[in-house]
Each structure stands twice: as structure tokens, then as C-alpha cells.
Amino acid sequence: MMVLIILVGVFQSWNIALSIFNMCLISAVMTMGANIQWGYAGLINFGIMGYTALGGLAAVLISVDPVQEAWSAGGFDILMCLWLIIALVLIIRFILKNFQKSKVRTYAIAVLIISGILLIRFTAEPGIEAIEDVNPAKTGFLGGFGLPIIFSWIVGAFFAGGLAFIVGKVALGLRADYLAIATLLISEIVIAIIKHEDWLTRGVKNVIGLKRPAPYEVDLQTTDWFINLVEKFNSGKLELISNLSDRQAVLNQLVIEGSSVFVKLCYSGLFLTVVIILLILTQKALYSPWGRMMRAIRDNEEAANAMGKNVVKQHLLIFILGSAIVGIAGAMLVTQDGLFTPGSYRPMRYTFLIWVMVIVGGSGNNFGAILGGFAVWFLWIEAAPIALFLINFFTAGMSETHALKLHLIESVPYFRFLMMGLGLLLIMRYRPKGILPEKIEIK
């Protein structure tokens, strides 16, 4: 896999190769999260998109500087709402604990929730309007805490884990394919909320220019040590140019290219650290007594239950853990892009593609998950060039203006779906356990 990426570096450019590599790393993290749920415990989670988006939300809330005006305009109302929501949840908990299950209780809770929502809406409305009126072209939202964005990776995990707790409480009792549908739909609800609550994250107006954990290209290009570094690396090439001003121009060009490669390398280092830490943790977990118990639950729920294992609790735990890892990946993704675009969260890209990675790589095997993330993402990006090559190869006999050939070349971007689908179908049929199947060595 690395060889392929290096080949891209040599033939296309190092910039592209590194961005593919970074996305591969992020995909690998997501795949590991899904793999923990599916491979370890047999829980199907089609809500990956929702957790990714929550991770991204965390990145925004942590790193953006607070918008003081908006806070003074509507902060009080929003805080009031938060208290109301907490109070509502507490009241419902109280009722659930202290009253017997009956029709009256159910109706009372329903009435309580509906009136609570109405009350919250009425309190929030003026605040939200005031916030969204504050300089709507640039801010129009509350902003965040102005902390370094790297913290958001942890906060993203907590956000996603929190959502997973709620979803797990609601849906984990369902049969597998229903769990799939329910999680998919719940993730759509999450996206709808993130998209349309402008006061929180500007909604579809996007948040751009997030802080970075890596230096900026522009700063690098004027730093002495970096220019010297680039000069050193390319000294052989530079010495061939005798003219001084020419040499300077070439050096400048190299510095500009080098700076973006350098920034990407910084990201790669950070992401690689995360992947390695997660890999160590998940491998340890896989071979621990806990991992054995999870496999026992997956393979025979009733037997595990009879042995005194709390299946429901363990399912909830692993659901939260896996989702939290996906949340980390979501925050990493936004960190890398430097922008948060709720409109770009589509189930195709963030749920089904990740599942293709899990299945292709090999469920239950962490290395398989990483391999799946790398291989599938690489194919997803490079599918268009490959398809173009194949089309040109097979239609070589046709004239350049043949309608079919032109039509095929026009629709090159969609061949990636075809490749993903065929790949998934072939793997499911002939290697149902994935490229690297689960292998448990008992020590």
C-alpha cells in the first residue's frame, strides 16, 4: 500500500500523495472505530456519518474564538435553554424512577416533552435571532472556546460517545438490520440539526479558517531555517543553475512547494501518532479478557449471558467506544481541512464507504481495518484516472468524437461507485472475512 502511495508521489506529485496518505490515515481511524463495533461485538452501526459530524462540531466549538457580541446578544437565552433541557431530562428521570409503569405515566411524559419543547423554542427564539443577526456574513454564531484545535480530538470523542450512549439506550435492543436502519436515520437527524441550527455552527454557511496544529505555509515561506532546509535538500539541483537570479527563482518555487509538503507532513505525523496509539490500545483490548468476553458475546449471546456476562451493558460500552473513535476521526478530518461544511456530510461518503473499508479490510482484525481504510480510500481517489485509462484502452478503436466514448469519458467520476460496489460484492462472495481475516492466537 505504501508503495502505491509512493508511486503516486513520484508520478503525480508529493503533495497529492501526502494528502491521500493523510486521508487514508483518517479513514483508517474511522474504520477502526466501526471495526470495534462490528468485528469485536457484531454490532452494526450505520450512523458513522453522525459521529464524524459531531467530531467536526467539536473542532469548531473548541478552536474558534468566542464571538463576544453574540454572547451578549443571545447567550443568556441559550444558557437558559440548556438549563431547561437539563431540567426536563432530570424531571423525566425522576418520573421514570418513582412511578410505576402505567398509561398515565406514558402520557404525562409525552405531554411534558411536548410542552418542554415548546417552552424551549419560545425561550430560544429571540436569542437565536439576536445571535444570527450579529454580523451574519462573518459570524452570526456563538463561536467556541478559542482553545488549540488539538483538544477537540478528545472532546470530539466525548461528543460522539455521548450521542452513542443515547442511541445505544434507544436502539441497541433491535435486531441487526433494524439497528442499521435506526442508526442511519438517527445520524440523518444529527446532520439536519447541525445543518440548520445556525447559531451553533453557522449551519450551511460553513465555518472556515479554523486554527491549525501545524504552521501556516505563508509563515514557513519567510522563515530562515525552513528556506535553509529546502536549500540543503535541493543543493545538487540548485548548483547546476549558474545564474544567481535564476537560482533564486527556482529556490522560491521549491520553498513554496516544500512548505505545503512540510505542512502535510506535520499532519501526517500527528495522525500517525493517533493511529499507532489506537492500534496499540485496540490490539491490547483484543487479546485481553475483555476482548475474549466480547467475542464470546458476539458468537453466542445467550451462552455469554448464561455465564453471567451483562450483554446489554457490554454492547452499550463497545458502542460508545467505537463511536468515540469515529468522533476522533471526525475532529481530525475538520482539523486537516481547516473548515467545517455540514453540507458535505453525506451517508454515501461517510457511512457506506467506511463500511466497504471494514468489510474489505477484514472485520475483527485491526490491521485489516487499517489496510481497508488505505486500500479503499486510495481506490476511491484514484478510481477516476484508472477508469479513464481503461475507457481509453477499450475504446481505442473508436474515433475521438464518437458519442459513446465522449459520454463515457464525461461520466468518469461515477466509475468509482462501480468499483466500490463490485469490490464489495466480490469480497463478500469469495472472501467473506475480508483481505486480512480475523486471527486469534491463544497464548
Partner 1 sequence: MDILNALILLLNYIFIPALTYGSQLALGAIFVTLIYGILRFANFATGDMMSFGTMVTILFTWYFQSLGISLGVLPTALIAIPFGILFMIIYMLSIDKFVFKYYRINKSPPVQLAMVSIGVMFVTQAVVRIIIGPSDQRFFDGEKFIIKAREFKEMTGLNEGLALKSTQVITVLVTIVLVSLLFWFLNKTKTGKSMKAYSDNEDLALLSGIDPKKIVMITWIIAGILATIGGALYGLDKSFKPFTYFNNMLPIFAAAIVGGIGNPFGAFLGGYVIAFSEIFLTYAYKKFFMYILPESMEPESLVQLLSTDYKFAVSFSILVIVLLYRPSGIFKGKVL
Could you say which of 112, 182, 250, 296 contacts partner 1 (CB under 8 A)?
A: 182
Taking the complex as a whole, the smallest distance from the CB of residue 347 to partner 1 amounts, in Å, to 8
Place of cell 481530525: 332
Sole binder of partner 1 in the list 356, 357, 371, 376 (CB under 8 A): 356
149 is written with which cell numbers?
484545535
CB of 409 to partner 1, least distance (A): 11
Binding residues for partner 1, total number by CB under 8 A: 43
Q: Which of residues 423-442 bind partner 1 (CB under 8 A)?
A: 424-425, 428-429, 432
CB 2 within 8 A of CB 312: no
* Cα of 101 vs its chain's centroid, Å: 40
Q: Does 185 bind partner 1 (CB under 8 A)?
A: yes
By three-state DSSP, how is residue 207 classified? Answer: strand
Q: Which of residues 187-206 bind partner 1 (CB under 8 A)?
A: 188-189, 192-193, 195-196
| Binding residues for partner 1 restricted to 357-386, rule: CB under 8 A | 359
Of residues 190, 181, 201, the one with CA closest to residue 51: 190
DSSP character at residue 411 = T
Closest to partner 1 by CB, 175 vs 232, is 175
With CB under 8 A as the contact rule, the residue among 86, 216, 411, 439 that binds partner 1 is 411
The minimum distance between CB 174 and partner 1, in angstroms, equals 5
How many CB atoms within 10 Å of residue 222? 10
Check residue 184 for interaction with partner 1 (CB under 8 A). Answer: yes
Residues 209-268 contacting partner 1, CB under 8 A: none
Binding-residue pattern over the window 40 to 59 for partner 1, x denoting contact by CB under 8 A? ----x---------------
Closer to partner 1 by CB, 312 or 428: give it. 428
Q: How far apart are CA 142 and CA 203, in angstroms?
A: 12
* Three-state DSSP class for residue 340: strand
Question: Smaller CB distance to partner 1: residue 232 or 429?
Answer: 429
Question: From CA 159, how far away is CA 292, in angstroms rounded?
Answer: 28
Cell numbers given for 1? 500500500
Q: For the chain, what is the total number of helices (H) and then of strands (E)?
A: 22, 0
- The C-alpha cell at 308 is 453471567
Q: Which of 1, 87, 90, 348 binds partner 1 (CB under 8 A)?
A: 348
* Site string (136-175) toward partner 1, x via CB under 8 A: ----------------------------------xx-xxx
| Residues 354 and 370 sit within 8 Å (Cβ to Cβ) | no
Nearer to partner 1 by C-beta: 292 or 346? 346
d(CA 338, CA 272): 18
Question: Closest Cα partner for 309 from 329, 294, 328?
Answer: 294
Least Å distance between CB 428 and partner 1?
A: 5
Q: CA–CA distance from 282 to each of 33, 164, 316, 367 (Å)? A: 10, 19, 17, 10
181/312 with CB nearer partner 1:
181
Q: Which is nearer to partner 1, 10 or 176 (CB)?
A: 176
Rule CB under 8 A: say whether 316 interacts with partner 1: no
Residue 99 interacting with partner 1 (CB under 8 A): no
C-alpha cell at 88: 426536563
The residue assigned the cell 484502452 is 393
The one-letter code for the residue type at 191 is I
- Residues engaged in binding partner 1 (CB under 8 A): 44, 106, 170-171, 173-178, 180-182, 184-186, 188-189, 192-193, 195-196, 348, 352, 355-356, 359, 408, 410-411, 414-418, 420-422, 424-425, 428-429, 432
